[in-house]
Each structure stands twice: as C-alpha cells, then as structure tokens.
Structure 1
C-alpha cells in the first residue's frame, strides 16, 4: 500500500482538478441530470441549487475527514467503529466502489461500441481500457494525480471550445420562462438527488492523508464542488438549447450528440478527434482512480499490499461488464439503475457516515 511520505503527496491543484474531472465526466458522457426533476427548462438552476444540499449531505464525511486527516475513510471507520464492525462497513464500501466502477466502465464501453467502434467486439474495447487503467493504478494514485494535472486542463479547454463553436445551434428561448413552470418542491427533490450522487466526497476522504497540506481539505471540497456544478449547469444549458428539453431526455449521450452537430468549417479538420481523445482519456483517468481506491480499501481491510488485488479485481470487473453488455443496455434502460444508484448513494454518502459520526461524538473522549 502507498506510504504517506513526500513521494505520494497530492497538491491542492491536483486534487481540485481530479475532483472537477470526476464530476463533469458524468455530464460529459451521458448526462443523467437531463431527466431529473423538475424535468423542464429549469434543470440548470436545479444543478446550481444542488450545491447547497450537497454541502449538507457531505458534512458528516467532511467533518470526520477533518478530524482524522491522517487516515482515509476505511481507516477512520475502523478506528471509530472498532475492528470487527469497521472491517464489515469497509467491505460494504468496497462493494460500493466496485459497483460504481462497473457501472462507469459499462456506460463507457456502451458508448464506445454504439457510437465510435460499432464493429469492434466489446471484450476488445473493455480489455484495452482496463489494461491501461491497471498500469496507471499500479503506479499509485500519485500517477493518476500527475497525469490529471497535465490532461485535465486540456479536457476542460476542449469542452469550452466545443461550447463556443456550437453557438450557431443554440436556441436559448427553450430555457424560458425561467422558474415559471417549476415548483420549489420539485427543484428541491432534483437538487437532493444530485447532491446524493456527489461521489467525489468519497474520493476526497480516500486521498485526504496524501494531501500536501491537509488544511486545504475544506477549500478543495468547496472549490471543486462549485466549479464542477457551474460547468455541469453550462453543459445542461448547451444540451437543452441545442437538442431541446424533451429530446435531450431520450438521447443516451446528449453532449456527444451536440458535439457532432458542431460545424467546424474547412479550416478546422479533425477537431472532433481531439474531443474523442479527451473524452476517452478523461474516463481512463477516472476509472484508474476508482480501481485504485477499490484495491486500497481491500488492502487496508486485509493488511495485504493493494497492488496484489489490481489484476484480480480488474478480471472480475471485465467479466461482469461483458455479462451486463450481453444482457441489456444500461443507458437505454435507465430504471431501475438510477433508483439503485440513488438509494446506495444515500446510504454510503449520508446515512452510514451520519451513524459513524454519531458514534464518534459519543466516543470522542476515548478516541
């Protein structure tokens, strides 16, 4: 397992960039926010409003990570809950990370197969992606952070350029009238749904011990949250103003569809290839991080070097992804997948941390 020394420290900027990428890749890929309440022209407002609920829902984990900033999530759960119960809860978190990774890879491969490499067998695209992720994860999270430091700015520039170049396709009248057709209750429900799915708080709890300056923890959380929510809302505005509100709900990968409608002209050739490259690399960085956290959590639960788990876990993931892909598409059948994600997120991001925080408050003098 990675030791906490200078070799494995993560800077403030690396952490912020990674958390921004991990959040916006969702909208960059399949944009589930297009279907949330209120389901109309005010979804972008719901995304911005969700920042408030996200902060509230993440407070238990944020508080605990500040108190135990030399330990990651799995380590301080065991310290607070005791060895046996702590390991059991840690195993649950391993399965949650595993489920999220399988879902992430399945969606990634589904889009690759459907829109980019329709003639390429699923096992080829999935294997190539996993082999790359295995190599990066084996180098440790510092490799993910350093790669992200160079690649993520390029990805953000690509998003910005496509947004600018697509201005001819925008019809902002579809976003009007603002807030007239939405109830505060519906906006709040949609905002809570988005807040519950802010998986980045789990990532932050896992990298806290490796931060160069642990006092930056709160600043990293708030800044990455605000930046990513603003970018996500802009993506929704672009998608809605290009495709329309209703059509955007039924397209499996809306932003990718929007980019294919951009007219580059004769002077810009192959620019769409840069988008595809940035999208693929962005997903690989995200998958590598998730794979790393699964194995680190397993390594800390079993006291075995996390690198010994990377290949076996990757093989398991590949098998499950292939079985899922052969069974039915994930994006086309959004339910019950979205409900399962919401329920699991509520448990692992808010309910369990709230219980752990309560136990800590009763036991803090002993701890």
Structure 2
C-alpha cells in the first residue's frame, strides 16, 4: 500500500482548496476587504512555521503515522489520549464537510430532497471508495484533481468580462498590518490537512520527499485559493462575496457564452461534487485508520461503516435543525480551535517531549 509523491501532492492540494471552492472562508477572514489576497500570500510562511513540529517528527519517524509516533514519544496512556483527539478532529471536520456539501446540493440542485437521502448517497459512495483503500484513492486523484483544476481554470478564463479590478484598489488603504497578520495566522492554522500528510507519510514510495510534498502542496493550494478569491471579489464585489454562501458558484452563474449555452455552471457543480467526494473519502479513510491505531483492535476497514453512520446521524441532526452556512462564523471558530489544538498545541508538546526523551526513544528504536 504505497503511493507516489505526485499523488500525495494532488490529494493534499485538493483537500485544502475544495473548501474555498465551496464557501470561500478567506473573504471573511481579517482584513476582510480588498487586501485579502495579500493576507493569503503572507499565510505561506506562517503555514510553514506552524506545521514545522509535525513535519519534523514525520520526517524523524517516517515509518510511523502521527498517531503511532505520538504514542511512541508520549507513552502509551498520553499517546493514546492525544491520538484519540487527532482522530476525533478528523471525524468532526469531516462532519462539517459533509454537512456543507449536503447544504450546497440542496441549494444548487435538490431543494426538496431530504437531508438523509442526499447525505446517504454521498456517504455510501465515499465509504465504498474508502473501503477499497489508499491506492485506489491515490490513483483516482490523478484523474479527478486535474479535471477539477482544468474546470476552475476554464471558468476563470471565461469570466473575464465580469472582472472589475478597481475593487481591489486602493491597496492597503483600509487594512492594518495587525489585521493582515491575524488573518494570515488564521489561514495558516486552518491547514488541517497536514495531519492527513502525517498519516500518509509511512505509505510514501519515497519518504525523503515529505518536505517537498508539503511545500508544493501549500504553494499549489494557496495559489488556487488566491485565484479563486481574486476572481470572486472582482466579479461579485467585496461585500457581496463576503455575504454569499457559495461565492465561486455564484461567480460561475454570471458566465454566459454566446447567449446560447445555458447552465454552463453545471460543469462546475460536477467538478465540485467530485472534489468533495474525494476529500470526504480521504478523511473517512484516515479517520478509520486513526481510530484503529488508537484502539489497536481489528482491521481499520471495520471502522469505516461505524464512522460513516456517526457522520450521517450528526449531519442529519445538525442540518435539519439549522443551516450550517447560516452559522459559518461559529463553524469557522470551531475549526480554528480544532486546528490550533491539532497543529499547534499537541505537536509542540510532542516535539518538546521528544527532545527531552530522544536518546531513550532512539535506543528503543534500535
């Protein structure tokens, strides 16, 4: 069960980018104005700094997942507790992803379809692919990720008539350096997909490529987010982009080719669904793997169906009670807290303990 560096880059890139292709949270991140693109660029070094502890330890223990090396460093009890937290964060994040996908489908295509029907169809598909394993997901990424990127690029090119770049001016006139830095840190911390990379590390064909995979994934995903943000803002306007639930989808509906090609936005919807299915499948698979490595009982495939049922029940309970994107501010706060915990606090603790215990740990490894 090994995958190539190229396949991993594709997976991590689309896992991060697909959320922006859905509801574009960066437009509501400080400074929340025409200077958001500057904030996105500034988030690159912050992402590298914040992810350093996980990246360092994943390189040091490249035969182990983040769950396994955390237990090795922290000891059995603390290691299992921290591993369980990682697994729960992957599960909770996937619940939000499924819920937002279902809400998007209800808005764009199936307004009268019950939540349980839409969510069941999506999750059955994802569970089936996840059950097939990592290699089929990785091979599939070689097809569906380029397809999504090509579709996005086509819409960006076709939408040129709607662009008004003057909305991005004047640069830095309405933003404080403090706000841009704050937004850059928020964006960097939301790179929760570093945990997925830390789960994939032992299965890489070339484990020495881990740093290269990380850097390229960060640059490629943020480049996509940057382009999507700019074209959305210059097409819809700064304020409308902030208050639209699905900004990039709204942008695609503005495109009209020769006045006779109707609903070209359907092509985007297809690519968007495929991308979300890919991300949900990946997070479902790695959630199952994480719980399996925490509890060390049975095969990880045995956890896929129970986790799928938990996600389905949670989505139905949440979505039928309240619009998920209607409280996206709260969701973003929850995701931020989970990200700070899983990318900042837990890895830093593990990193520090490793340096205190590295001689003992290295001897145990020998």
Tell me, yes or no, whether TM beats 0.5: yes
Question: Does residue 113 in structure 1 map to residue 110 in structure 2?
Answer: no
How far does residue 85 in structure 1 lie from its aligned partner after superposition?
1.2
How far does residue 272 in structure 1 lie from its aligned partner after superposition?
2.6
Match of 2:251 in 1: 258
How far does residue 273 in structure 1 lie from its aligned partner after superposition?
2.4
Match of 2:359 in 1: 365
How far does residue 285 in structure 1 lie from its aligned partner after superposition?
0.5
Q: Deviations over 1:193-243 (max 9, x none)?
A: 000000121111000001110010000000110111111111110110011
Match of 2:327 in 1: 333
Alignment: residue pair count = 360
How far does residue 257 in structure 1 lie from its aligned partner after superposition?
0.5
The answer to whether the 8 A contact 2:256-2:262 is kept is no
SS state of the match for residue 364, structure 1?
helix
Q: Distance in 1 between matches of 2:76 and 2:182?
A: 37
Question: Does residue 347 in structure 1 map to residue 341 in structure 2?
Answer: yes
Question: Does residue 288 in structure 1 map to residue 281 in structure 2?
Answer: yes
Structure 1's consecutive aligned runs of 4 or more residues displaced over 6 angstroms after TM superposition are: none
Question: Does residue 60 in structure 1 map to residue 58 in structure 2?
Answer: no
How far does residue 115 in structure 1 lie from its aligned partner after superposition?
1.9
How far does residue 326 in structure 1 lie from its aligned partner after superposition?
1.1
Match of 2:136 in 1: 143
Question: Does residue 189 in structure 1 map to residue 182 in structure 2?
Answer: yes
Instruction: Note the aligned Cα RMSD (angstroms).
Output: 1.1
How far does residue 323 in structure 1 lie from its aligned partner after superposition?
0.4
The answer to whether the 8 A contact 2:249-2:268 is kept is no
Unaligned runs of 5+ in 2: 362-366
Query: Which of residues 33, 44, 55 in structure 2 aligns to 1:40?
Result: 33
Match of 1:179 in 2: 172
SS state of the match for residue 121, structure 2?
helix
Q: Distance in 2 between matches of 1:112 and 1:202?
A: 28
How far does residue 181 in structure 1 lie from its aligned partner after superposition?
1.9
Q: Distance in 2 between matches of 1:142 and 1:45?
A: 37
Match of 2:317 in 1: 323
Q: Distance in 2 between matches of 1:335 and 1:54?
A: 22
The answer to whether the 8 A contact 1:113-1:120 is kept is yes
How far does residue 338 in structure 1 lie from its aligned partner after superposition?
1.6
Q: Distance in 2 between matches of 1:335 and 1:30?
A: 12
Question: Does residue 28 in structure 1 map to residue 21 in structure 2?
Answer: yes
How far does residue 137 in structure 1 lie from its aligned partner after superposition?
0.4
Q: Distance in 2 between matches of 1:284 and 1:356?
A: 32
Match of 2:364 in 1: none
Match of 2:157 in 1: 164
How far does residue 57 in structure 1 lie from its aligned partner after superposition?
0.4
SS state of the match for residue 320, structure 2?
helix
Match of 1:85 in 2: 78
How far does residue 271 in structure 1 lie from its aligned partner after superposition?
3.6
Match of 2:191 in 1: 198
Match of 1:3 in 2: none
Match of 1:306 in 2: 300
The answer to whether the 8 A contact 1:259-1:272 is kept is yes
The answer to whether the 8 A contact 2:47-2:191 is kept is yes
Q: Distance in 2 between matches of 1:307 and 1:78?
A: 21
Q: Deviations over 1:227-272 (max 9, x none)?
A: 1111111111011001111111110010010011111235656643
Query: Which of residues 63, 70, 85 in structure 1 aligns to 2:63?
Result: 70
Q: Distance in 2 between matches of 1:295 and 1:264?
A: 45
